[in-house]
Structure 1
Amino acid sequence: MQKSDLTRLDPFVAQEYVLEELCYAHYKNDGSELDKRIEKVWKAMRGTKFYHRESTAFSFVAGPQQAKTFSFTDACRMFAEAVGLDFVKNPDDATIVELNESGKIKNSFVFVCYEAAGEMSASTTGGLISKTNVNGKDMMTKLPFMKFAAIEQAAAGMLLLDDLSNALPGVRNALFPLLQEKRVGALNFKGKYVASTRNRGSLDGTHTSQSSSAEVSRSSQFEIHTTPETWLEHIIPLYKGTPTEMVIESFMLNHGHEHFYRPPNKLGDPSWPGCRTWTSCLSQTHTEMLMAEELMLSGRSVDSIVRNVSDRSGGAVGIDTGSVFTAHVRTWLKGALPCALNMMKDGELKGDLKRLFNSYVVDKANTPEGADFAMSYSYALANEAANQVIKELDSGKSILKNENDIKVILNKFVNGVYNVGMHEDKISLAMGKFKDIVVESSQAKHKLGRVNEEGMTVVNDDFLMLMTEVVGTNQIARSEHPDLPGTKLYDVTFTEVFSNSAKLESDVERVIARRSSSEFSKIKESLKDLSAETPSMNAISQGMVQEKPAPIEQIAEEVATSFVEDSKDNTVDEGTLEKVMEKTEVENFKLESEDDGVVPDKKKEVDLIDESEFDMLDKMLG
């Protein structure tokens, strides 16, 4: 890995930091409803009370397709949902008008990604010149860009200056005040968040200018670094339990460091692999994989599926990487998956399938094709075995009461990994994947295990004993390890795997990514729970949810209670209570008149020009 001159963050950590800055940016310390919700968000994320400070502008730096923009966008969505605001992403003019006319803008989080590199003039940022009248005198001002004004009017929001370093110098200079002071021209983003991204790419002239010291000194710089393992942790939950999960995970494990991120070496417009294009590739090929499974179960050809995968993957991630991915899918659909399904059905391979299996695993044992087939088979076998176990448990059976039925499945799986001549690394891989699928798919309902603090799956004692018994009866598993005297083969391929002490392929990177993903998943779940119990601001304003008592009414109740407690006979006369309520109403009026809350009914009028500036204008005008 090339050393970076910036602090590197993976997208999970980056999103966590953005969430924290969103809390700092939107907290007004005025006791408003939004403040209280932000305090709850902070408690859910960090487990402490909220200590306020000014927010810090971030600049996420990386080449194209490294999840820079995504990290900001997704964090804003989570923040909005957690505090009960409607998330509005890059609204068009008609949407902004509708939000204003309906009043929903006051209860919305508006996110605007401003493509700074594509802007040819600073007039969009600064606003078009317009005329206003102050104290009877015509003055020059500027009309704000509608999308920017929407952020200013909303309850919360963020302006992302995307690819700021590649903007024209005049545009960049006009945007700098937004990063530091959150205002420019007629716009004031105080109480909102502003950040930027910088593109380190050099493809097709996408890096046209050097970042200035004026820019980098106005924000904290972080490099976003997305690895195949990190991307898998993000993308796999979207395809959990489907053939797509097995295909992409086995592909990335075998080819990821060469084909996950591979910029073209020449100018032009070729497709190339990265976070964005791989996500698009999976979206297109996922339905093909589902259809392939249906065709295979009915005994029909999957040639049309392979052709479609070839075309679509080539269009998304480029011809070179697409051809490697297509070969992997072809191996999966026309070899590894049929062999795995047959093994879990009959407990052995026969005839054409056995010859096909041996042509890869035995005859091509030390070739890339053989390794790819063995890995695909390991994943397919683990997936099918795990799904069969889960199906049995879903039908009401249990490990203790119906262990013989479960043993039938486990015996076929164990024979399928030990009795077919696979290398020990592929046996370990199959065991690890089987453990992960069983625990992650059924942990909540069937209690076969759990996911620990580092994101590793851990099986419970009952399931471990059953697996140990089945593996222990397999003769090959019990045989001596060829390279480790005094060690059984199952010690390395089963015991170490189920105890999470085995060092598998890509183990270090995957463990780091899984740990980071696990920590962020806890934050996401906490915010999701908070969102579920937090009524929407718009629902409250429309009377769909009963609003909680206003804070001033709670103050009145507390004041009255304190009078009662201070009274010797624990009584208070009605006159005293009336005085308390009158005082409370006066204080309420004062608070409302001085309110700088998140969604004020009417903004205070502010003099755009003070007296000294008037004097200066008078002198200039003679």
Structure 2
Amino acid sequence: MSSYNLADLEQYKNPASSIKKMGDSSGLPMMRIATIIPDLQNDILRTMHTNGQNKVIDALVEKAFLKLNGFAYRNRADRVVPLFVKGPPGQGKTTAFRIASKNIADAMGVRLFINPTIIDSPSETDIILVEATLAGLLSPTSLIGLPNTDNGVTVYVPPARMKMLADSPLSIMVLDDLENAVAGVKNAAMPAILDKLLLDFKLGDTCYVGATGNLGNVDNTNTTMGSDALFNRMKTLLGYDTLGDWLERAYNNSSYQDEIGLCFLDVFLIQNPNLFYPDRDSKTRGPTATSRSYDGLLGTLRNEFGDYLDRMNAGLNPPSIEIGIKSKIHGQVGKEVAEKMNLFYHDVLSVAYPAAIEAMSEKRLSSDTRELLYNLIAIKKDENSETVARSFLRQVEQIATSKIFNICNTKVDSNDEIAQKRIKIELASVLQRFSEAMFSVGLVRGNKTDLIAYTVLHMAKNLISKSNALPASERHFDFGHLNSHKLPVLSDVLVNALTTFASKVTMEKYGEGMYKVGGTDDKPITAVQTAIVDPLTQTSQIMKLQQEAVEAQMH
């Protein structure tokens, strides 16, 4: 990754080769799920707008549209063509509808009910999302309900959640796995897509109806006979997830900004991007690697790593994490990926992980561990060296971020000098350990200064993001802010402190803080300047230069 661009994930936002083949075979236009969601949100909002018939609902729609798009609502079409998202399993097709619905609810400031039951009581201004799973259904009963006789006429009594859809002016229905439905179910669903009808039951003109489905032979899934009438009623896309989007979601998830983090799964995928969604033999059965299975695996790994740390902190002697995760990896992402991932975790857990924990402990790195890391990173410089370096820095950064945030954000009385002194001592200790971990294990001599810079930027962004996620009343320290490009502008206090401690890592043989990486003898460029000062200050410097240029033009 780029040394200075924390969000340099665009290179990983292309479809996997296997997805490209599916696009070619299906003839469908391809679009990332992440880019489908904004368009889907607007389609849903335009469907919900009543054109003045319900001013309360229209005000909510217009409020959400402005908040999500940055410009005022306008509808230039008579009707909205519903969306049919097709693609292989595990890409987030149904999730796209959930995310769009949640974003709209948040922008409106209302509640979202997903698949509500009879015990739920949504108000008129709450949003109802019903996911009608059609795969395996032999009859359309779950859609249209059961027949009943009323005054000599047969009518269908709709299921409770369908009644909720009809009663709500803010409603969404997803016909999930439509391509795997039998003919009778498909026939019942088609009028709902365009006319909002389930037999003689009206869903309501403001109900948005979308659909998802697999690709059949193209992605080795079961589907029933397609219908031109169905396709002509919808705009159909092949939706897919990417490694870049998955990493972006994970990095922005505040739940993962702790000492456990992503359990090195991001490091593995960055080094093996082809394994995010690998080609799969049609004869292969069992689990396979998808973004959904990686979501599940991440949860499994976080529990395994968390339990291991808890046992360690309790004074127990737990077995290696490697033993616990081996079969679970195979069971969630399949044999091919598991074989490579198990080798990766062997390298990580035998060296990088314990070394990082040791480096950030009060005991710091032992001479033996430092020598081991130095030999692996600065001398060997092989593929294993890259794995160890990335994994070591990732774990060090996660521990440092958690400790620095908790120390700095502690509420202390301004008159309590003893408490303030204690916090300064604790912060200095963490920054010193963090600096030694970056500049005393051979990373600079091993030509990995860019990894140090990335680590520092990642820590800065996580500190700022963690602070921003808190209510203002719970923020007790100014960590800085994110600029318009989502890059961190860390507070001067932390930049200066980190630079000071890193510059002092100059011990014989290992110390690389002031190691010359460029420049001239008269004006050398040091590792600290390249890995800390430049990345953390270039944003504010650029903004200052831009402001000066604007002011010069005005005069």
Which of the five TM-score ranges fits, normalised by the shorter chain? 0.7 to 0.9
Deviation (angstroms), 1:194? 0.2
User: Unaligned stretches of 5+ in structure 2?
Assistant: 1-14, 415-419, 469-474, 507-511, 540-555
Distance 1:414 1:60 in 2: 48
The DSSP-based 3-state class of the residue aligned with 1:453 is: coil
Distance 2:409 2:148 in 1: 68
Cα pair distance change 1:123/1:337, threshold 3 Å: closer
Residue identity in the other structure for 2:465: E
Query: 1:239 maps to which residue?
Result: 256
Query: 1:478 maps to which residue?
Result: 514
Give a deviation string over 1:432-474, Cα, whole Å, max 9, x none: 3333333333465422221222222222334333434444455
Distance 1:84 1:440 in 2: 22
Q: Does 1:114 align with 2:132?
A: yes
Query: 2:532 maps to which residue?
Result: 494
Distance 1:491 1:352 in 2: 28
The DSSP-based 3-state class of the residue aligned with 1:447 is: coil
Query: 2:305 maps to which residue?
Result: 289
Residue identity in the other structure for 2:270: L
Residue identity in the other structure for 1:75: A
Distance 2:30 2:487 in 1: 24
Question: Identity over aligned residues, as a percent?
Answer: 19
Identify, as 1 or 2, the structure richer in helix.
1
Deviation (angstroms), 1:277? 1.7
User: Unaligned stretches of 5+ in structure 1?
Assistant: 502-622
Q: From 176, 190, 195, give the equivalent of 1:162.
A: 176
Distance 2:326 2:111 in 1: 40
Cα pair distance change 1:125/1:448, threshold 3 Å: closer
Query: 1:566 maps to which residue?
Result: none
Distance 1:347 1:226 in 2: 43
The DSSP-based 3-state class of the residue aligned with 1:65 is: coil
| Aligned residues of 2:401 and 2:463 also touching (Cα < 8 A) | yes
How many residue pairs get aligned? The number is: 487
Q: From 199, 204, 216, give the equivalent of 1:185.
A: 199
Residue identity in the other structure for 1:250: V
Q: Does 1:221 align with 2:236?
A: yes
Deviation (angstroms), 1:488? 4.2
Distance 2:318 2:336 in 1: 22
| Aligned residues of 1:439 and 1:449 also touching (Cα < 8 A) | yes
Cα pair distance change 1:378/1:391, threshold 3 Å: same
Q: From 376, 387, 398, give the equivalent of 2:391.
A: 376
Deviation (angstroms), 1:352? 4.4
Query: 1:536 maps to which residue?
Result: none
Cα pair distance change 1:348/1:69, threshold 3 Å: same
| Aligned residues of 1:179 and 1:218 also touching (Cα < 8 A) | yes
Query: 2:268 maps to which residue?
Result: 251
Query: 2:434 maps to which residue?
Result: 413
Residue identity in the other structure for 1:481: V
Query: 2:452 maps to which residue?
Result: 427
Query: 2:292 maps to which residue?
Result: 276
Query: 1:196 maps to which residue?
Result: 211
Query: 1:63 maps to which residue?
Result: 88
Distance 2:382 2:243 in 1: 24
| Aligned residues of 2:262 and 2:298 also touching (Cα < 8 A) | no
Q: Does 1:449 align with 2:477?
A: no
Scaled by the length of structure 1, the TM-score of the pair is 0.68
Query: 1:394 maps to which residue?
Result: 409
Residue identity in the other structure for 1:114: A
Cα pair distance change 1:383/1:124, threshold 3 Å: closer
The DSSP-based 3-state class of the residue aligned with 1:269 is: coil
Q: Does 1:467 align with 2:494?
A: no
Deviation (angstroms), 1:130? 5.4
Cα pair distance change 1:124/1:434, threshold 3 Å: closer
Query: 1:605 maps to which residue?
Result: none
Cα pair distance change 1:113/1:56, threshold 3 Å: same
Residue identity in the other structure for 1:214: A
Residue identity in the other structure for 1:227: T
Cα pair distance change 1:275/1:299, threshold 3 Å: same
Residue identity in the other structure for 1:73: R
| Farther-moved stretch of structure 1 (488-497 vs 451-460) | 488-497
Cα pair distance change 1:453/1:9, threshold 3 Å: farther
Deviation (angstroms), 1:72? 0.5
Cα pair distance change 1:108/1:382, threshold 3 Å: closer
| Aligned residues of 1:273 and 1:318 also touching (Cα < 8 A) | yes
Query: 2:278 maps to which residue?
Result: 262
Distance 1:24 1:394 in 2: 43
Aligned Cα root-mean-square deviation (Å) = 3.7
The DSSP-based 3-state class of the residue aligned with 2:129 is: strand
Give a deviation string over 1:474-526, Cα, whole Å, max 9, x none: 5534333379997544454334433578xxxxxxxxxxxxxxxxxxxxxxxxx
Deviation (angstroms), 1:67? 0.7
The DSSP-based 3-state class of the residue aligned with 2:360 is: helix
| Aligned residues of 2:371 and 2:441 also touching (Cα < 8 A) | no
| Aligned residues of 1:42 and 1:50 also touching (Cα < 8 A) | yes
Query: 2:462 maps to which residue?
Result: 437
Cα pair distance change 1:418/1:7, threshold 3 Å: farther
| Aligned residues of 1:264 and 1:270 also touching (Cα < 8 A) | no
Scaled by the length of structure 2, the TM-score of the pair is 0.75
Residue identity in the other structure for 1:88: F
- Where does 1:144-163 land on structure 2 (aligned, <5 Å)? 144-163=158-177
| Aligned residues of 2:145 and 2:156 also touching (Cα < 8 A) | yes
Distance 1:81 1:344 in 2: 39
Give a deviation string over 1:525-574, Cα, whole Å, max 9, x none: xxxxxxxxxxxxxxxxxxxxxxxxxxxxxxxxxxxxxxxxxxxxxxxxxx
Query: 2:471 maps to which residue?
Result: none
Distance 2:155 2:403 in 1: 70
Deviation (angstroms), 1:207? 4.6
Give a deviation string over 1:205-247, Cα, whole Å, max 9, x none: 4153575443333223333332223123323413221313353
Cα pair distance change 1:383/1:240, threshold 3 Å: closer
Residue identity in the other structure for 2:431: L
Distance 2:343 2:527 in 1: 32
Cα pair distance change 1:56/1:117, threshold 3 Å: same
Cα pair distance change 1:260/1:300, threshold 3 Å: farther
Cα pair distance change 1:108/1:316, threshold 3 Å: same
Distance 2:139 2:538 in 1: 57
| Aligned residues of 1:243 and 1:290 also touching (Cα < 8 A) | yes
Cα pair distance change 1:376/1:304, threshold 3 Å: closer
Query: 2:43 maps to which residue?
Result: 21
| Aligned residues of 1:157 and 1:192 also touching (Cα < 8 A) | yes
Give a deviation string over 1:401-453, Cα, whole Å, max 9, x none: 98786455434322322221123243333333333333333465422221222
Deviation (angstroms), 1:248? 3.1
Query: 1:310 maps to which residue?
Result: 326
Residue identity in the other structure for 1:248: L
Distance 2:159 2:284 in 1: 34
Give a deviation string over 1:277-302, Cα, whole Å, max 9, x none: 22222223322211211233455433
Query: 2:352 maps to which residue?
Result: 336
| Aligned residues of 2:259 and 2:402 also touching (Cα < 8 A) | no
Distance 1:24 1:81 in 2: 17
Distance 1:201 1:290 in 2: 40
Distance 1:434 1:139 in 2: 68
Cα pair distance change 1:484/1:226, threshold 3 Å: farther
Deviation (angstroms), 1:170? 4.8
Deviation (angstroms), 1:341? 3.1
Query: 1:572 maps to which residue?
Result: none
The DSSP-based 3-state class of the residue aligned with 2:317 is: coil
Give a deviation string over 1:253-312, Cα, whole Å, max 9, x none: 333x13332354243531112122222222233222112112334554332643222232
